[in-house]
Structure 1
Amino acid sequence: MMEHMTMTDLGDRGADRTLFFIFGATGDLARRKLFPAFYSLYREGKLSERFAVIGLARRPRTNEQFREDVSVSIREFARYKAEEDEQWEKFASHFHYMSLDINKPEAFGQLKELADRLDDSYDIGGNRLFYLALAPELFGSVSFNLRDGGLLDSPGWHRLVIEKPFGYDLPSAEKLNEQIRQVFQEDEVYRIDHYLGKEMVQNIEVVRFANAFFEPLWNNKHIANIQITLSETVGVEERGGYYDHAGALRDMGQNHMLQMITMMAMEPPSRMEPEDIRDEKVKVLRSLRVFRDAEEVRDNVVRGQYAAGEHKGKPLPAYRSEEGVPADSVTETYFAARVFVDNFRWAGVPFYIRTGKRLPVKTTEVVVEFKNMPENVYFSRKTKLEPNLLVFRVNPTEGIYLKMNAKRPGSEWGIVPIAMDFCQSCEVGINTPEAYERLLYDAARGDSTYFTRWDEVALAWKFVDRIEQAWREQHVDLHPYPAGSWGPEAAQALLARDGFKWWPVNGQHEGEVVWATPVAGK
């Protein structure tokens, strides 16, 4: 079992001496995210020379062919340019390939022989990280085969990294977890939610806990509501068959959206250790107000499905016209919800969340709307004051935006909203670290802070399953919305009933003066 290490102990030391096993090495995730992440870590000195990667998939490949696949991936998706030079040759030499049928236990004995040879060649010390970029129903059988094939008998540490979805509901998640826990201890299991690896999601903690003027305001006395938007412009594309069995709630709500709520609502941890931070996130999930029946779901949750529409003059098909989607599908491609965290700090503050496909812009933002000034005092009697906003821009632009009121120059009582806008991605440029770089690096170092623990997964499924059950059994309305729009009208009404509105996202704030941070080098 891995020894307990604090974040202070981990520091910034490199991911030294690790043998990485990438299951699904010919898949899209490995090509777009994992191989570029390895290259960035190597270029930045976060991987020493004592590492090796074994790519595993059924497709036959030689080491040379696999290294060419890695090269193509890095040239297309990596932050750093790959030059065909001595440094590149040294990096590529760490990559090896084995064709493996994961349904054949005897093949894992051959994998052990390869792993042992590489362990000796690179002086890795038996440390092994198994990355399963596979369908979740395969997690259990692969874990058993790793154990039975002797791959967990090496003297170092062993860690299992698994991708979402972790199950399709609570019972299936419990079954998967039971299988995995027969082989790996909980502190050896790293469940990835790549949103937790994004720079600005991690920056939420820093802004909250490293600035003295925010903490006294971070509660129900001063905050009116919090809005979390995760919008996509794409439809289901070639994933229609998969998506129709998942839907927006399972695909985005159970993981990304609830995780961002925990980041916004958690209490300051007593110590900066991974388990203390995750303990505070679990407390938030335990405090979520669970919907008791279909009527409460109907009052607090909106589900929608995109119909035919257009975006920037381009016609867009309806969801039911997409390849692999049944013509009578009732799967949601959009959902919005009003969520309450019933604890001392947040009682009464609505958290509004929304996510959907075929929306006008691709963006992830968190908007904190502070309570407005009383309407019968001083400036409020002479002019309409806008509420103050604090916005975390997570994707695609990374930054922090603060909106406040100030006097219009040259006027007597004119007040206009002004904004202080810090663009982190403008400062860092295209070399902003990718989420998978941070998460791969953390998993190799044994830092579990930004991975989800089993009790987080279970509590999130409990919350989501109530909604799914109401949709399934009570036939809660499915609202159509034109592709290219901001979703169903019912989502606007959800906030309007409380006297609020969805704030514009992706920098679409109008009518304000902006004080922006200068772009580096300009």
Structure 2
Amino acid sequence: MQTDSSFTFVLFGGTGDLSMRKILPALFEAHRAGGMLADSGKIVAVARHIADRAAYIDWVNEHVKPHVSKNGVDETAWASFLDRIEFVKIDLGKPEDFTLLRDALSGRPGIRVFYLATGPSLFVPICHALASVGLNENSRIVLEKPLGYDLKSSNAINDAVGEIFAEEQIYRIDHYLGKEPVQNLLALRFGNVLFEPLWRREWVESIQITIAEELGVEARGDFYDNTGALRDMVQNHLLQLLSIVAMEPPHSMDSDSVRDEKLRVLRALKPIDPRDIGKVAVRGQYHAGVIRGSAVPAYATEPGVKQDSTTETFVAVKVEIENWRWAGVPFFLRTGKRLADRVAEIVVNFRAVPHSALGASALRGGANRLVIRLQPNETIRLYCLAKQPGEGMNLASVHLDLAFDRFFREGQMEAYQRLLLDVINGRLALFVRRDEQEAAWRWVEPILNEWAASNKPPKPYAAGTWGPAAASAMLAQHGTCWLEEEN
């Protein structure tokens, strides 16, 4: 992916955790690879509690370097990467400070990218301050989640940002859309005649999408306790993955063609009747438990969390899509903290054969299954039945495995690296359009409202397990189970 596009990448929140762990490491990997970033491209970090560039470079050496290049740091590449970095000391609460940024960017060629790696409360003030000094022209702005607390607050942010930046300048980032297997899901479906005829209600029994974490809320207790898993993960990551799985073939891979098809899926989600929320949505909260031999505390005792908190750390929800392709097929979405393993995957369970002369195993649902693993090891695995060696017709499950790190010699591109390059090069397909975001908020709001009005606490589950038993019971009602429960 060669580029000659000159750019200036302005990083607000330049000393924050996201910048240290994800954004700057991703930019370094693009720099180290050669040819992905224009030689003239610069990174301008913005922060208020660092004195000058020398102090910021010291900060980067201490906090970013441990997160780059798993096999060791190329010191020559690292030194030349640091040459790209500049620094402007700004107090984001003082709009007059933005004249310093304007002066620092004056006369630079190419596009300006403003990455807002800050809390959402700062999005609108930063945009207004940029406009006040004329920096909203010839620029792109990247907004991190969460974008609002509900549909009303999300619209308020989008309205305010939209007064300053056109929609084609706004990049609402969801890093799951940049993961290699998600890209390969598009290739698998739309590049191969083998799967597309099967990708519909006649042949698919159910679909599961899981994003599970072993970690708790860490140092984000104060933020998380006012957010919860439904807002933090379902409204964005899980519904975006759902829309990719269920979308119709776009006429091309240009940004609006892809996002138009995703939007149709989100608008076709069956509205949830508030009276049925207890049947189709499970919320849980982790209690003390053991993960990989280490005791971990309950959510309510985490720093920054209210002791009587009813915030959910686990959500499982059944989703239906009201269109001809998917009518009647249940989609089960699940996410949680302090679960038994760290995994993100999409599981497509195909229907059993209508009749089998080979025994009952061929009639079992899920005998044919496609598992798309997003993390930790990015793979696509197709399960089918084959005869076991030996006497008799005994069937066993086998799989065809596409492990990207074994099949492709070149290293995989991390999600943030791909998405940042797309911003710099003006590619919008992997970013969330405003109408997609509104449709997602509109669908989750009945659940949010019902949980807020309910006096029922979240269902408890022990840290190190797979969540409340009610999540398994919900699938059992449909004659299926979560993938890890198969055996």
Task: Answer whether contact 1:109 1:150 (CA < 8 A) is retained.
Answer: no
2:448 to 468, 473, 497: 468
Q: Which residue is equivalent to 1:191?
A: 172
Q: TM-score scaled to structure 2, two decimals?
A: 0.95
Q: Secondary structure at the match of 2:418?
A: helix
Task: Answer whether contact 1:383 1:413 (CA < 8 A) is retained.
Answer: no
2:123 to 124, 132, 139: 139
Report the residue type matching 2:156 in the other structure: K
Task: Answer whether contact 1:365 1:392 (CA < 8 A) is retained.
Answer: yes
How far does the alpha carbon of each residue in 1:157-215 deviate from its partner, in whole angstroms, 9 at most, with x for none?
Answer: 21001100011100000100111011000000000001111111111111111111101
Whether 1:403 aligns to 2:383 is yes
**Pair 1:434–1:382, CA change in 2 (3 A):** closer
Q: Secondary structure at the match of 2:121?
A: helix
1:396 deviates by 0.6
Report the residue type matching 2:11 in the other structure: I
1:88 deviates by 4.1
Q: Which residue is equivalent to 2:358?
A: 379
What is the distance in 2 between the residues matched to 1:311 and 1:108?
47
What is the distance in 2 between the residues matched to 1:387 and 1:245?
42
Whether 1:148 aligns to 2:137 is no
Report the residue type matching 1:161 in the other structure: V
Consecutive unaligned residues in structure 2, runs of 5 or more:
none
Task: Answer whether contact 2:352 2:362 (CA < 8 A) is retained.
Answer: no
Task: Answer whether contact 2:268 2:322 (CA < 8 A) is retained.
Answer: yes
How many residues were matched structurally? 484
Report the residue type matching 1:323 in the other structure: P
Report the residue type matching 1:52 in the other structure: K
> What is the CA RMSD across the aligned residues, in angstroms?
1.8
2:143 to 162, 170, 176: 162
Task: Answer whether contact 1:336 1:354 (CA < 8 A) is retained.
Answer: yes
What is the distance in 2 between the residues matched to 1:323 and 1:452?
32
| 1:277-292 → structure 2 map (5 Å cutoff) | 277-292=258-273
Whether 1:101 aligns to 2:91 is yes
Task: Answer whether contact 2:361 2:395 (CA < 8 A) is retained.
Answer: no
**Pair 1:381–1:188, CA change in 2 (3 A):** closer
Report the residue type matching 1:39 in the other structure: F
Task: Answer whether contact 1:359 1:485 (CA < 8 A) is retained.
Answer: yes
Q: Which residue is equivalent to 2:207?
A: 226
Task: Answer whether contact 2:136 2:165 (CA < 8 A) is retained.
Answer: no
| 1:68-467 → structure 2 map (5 Å cutoff) | 68-79=58-69, 81-85=72-76, 87-116=77-106, 119=108, 124-125=109-110, 127-152=111-136, 157-293=138-274, 295-374=275-354, 376-380=355-359, 385=364, 387-427=367-407, 431-467=411-447
**Pair 1:428–1:317, CA change in 2 (3 A):** farther
Whether 1:37 aligns to 2:52 is no
Task: Answer whether contact 1:15 1:445 (CA < 8 A) is retained.
Answer: no
Whether 1:25 aligns to 2:14 is yes
How far does the alpha carbon of each residue in 1:408-444 deviate from its partner, in whole angstroms, 9 at most, with x for none?
Answer: 1112121111111221134458942211100100000
Q: TM-score scaled to structure 1, two decimals?
A: 0.89
Task: Answer whether contact 2:88 2:100 (CA < 8 A) is retained.
Answer: no
1:60 to 50, 55, 67: 50
**Pair 1:379–1:481, CA change in 2 (3 A):** same
Report the residue type matching 1:391 in the other structure: V
Counting aligned pairs with the same residue, the percent is 40
Consecutive unaligned residues in structure 1, runs of 5 or more:
1-11, 511-522
Structure 1 residues 60-69 or 426-435, which shifts more?
426-435
**Pair 1:331–1:15, CA change in 2 (3 A):** farther
What is the distance in 2 between the residues matched to 1:257 and 1:243?
17
What is the distance in 1 between the residues matched to 2:74 and 2:361?
64
**Pair 1:408–1:452, CA change in 2 (3 A):** same
**Pair 1:164–1:111, CA change in 2 (3 A):** same
How far does the alpha carbon of each residue in 1:239-278 deviate from its partner, in whole angstroms, 9 at most, with x for none?
Answer: 1111111111011111100000001000000122111000
What is the distance in 1 between the residues matched to 2:237 and 2:42?
31
What is the distance in 2 between the residues matched to 1:472 and 1:381?
46
Task: Answer whether contact 1:307 1:480 (CA < 8 A) is retained.
Answer: yes
Q: Secondary structure at the match of 2:106?
A: helix
How far does the alpha carbon of each residue in 1:338-376 deviate from its partner, in whole angstroms, 9 at most, with x for none?
Answer: 1001111000000001100111100001000000123x5
Report the residue type matching 1:371 in the other structure: R
Task: Answer whether contact 2:206 2:348 (CA < 8 A) is retained.
Answer: yes
Task: Answer whether contact 2:356 2:363 (CA < 8 A) is retained.
Answer: no
Q: Secondary structure at the match of 1:315?
A: strand
Q: Which residue is equivalent to 2:462?
A: 482
Task: Answer whether contact 2:339 2:467 (CA < 8 A) is retained.
Answer: yes
Q: Which residue is equivalent to 1:14?
A: 3
Q: Secondary structure at the match of 1:130?
A: strand
What is the distance in 2 between the residues matched to 1:97 and 1:381?
67
Q: Which residue is equivalent to 1:8?
A: none
Report the residue type matching 1:143 in the other structure: C
**Pair 1:382–1:492, CA change in 2 (3 A):** closer
1:89 deviates by 3.7
Q: Secondary structure at the match of 1:296?
A: helix
What is the distance in 2 between the residues matched to 1:217 and 1:298?
32
Task: Answer whether contact 2:206 2:330 (CA < 8 A) is retained.
Answer: yes
What is the distance in 1 between the residues matched to 2:113 and 2:361?
64
What is the distance in 1 between the residues matched to 2:216 and 2:81?
37
Structure 1 residues 207-216 or 431-440, which shifts more?
431-440
**Pair 1:15–1:442, CA change in 2 (3 A):** farther
Task: Answer whether contact 1:15 1:441 (CA < 8 A) is retained.
Answer: no
Report the residue type matching 1:258 in the other structure: L
What is the distance in 2 between the residues matched to 1:446 and 1:95?
22
How far does the alpha carbon of each residue in 1:91-119 deviate from its partner, in whole angstroms, 9 at most, with x for none?
Answer: 322211111011212111121111115x1
What is the distance in 2 between the residues matched to 1:141 and 1:71?
30
Q: Secondary structure at the match of 1:306?
A: strand
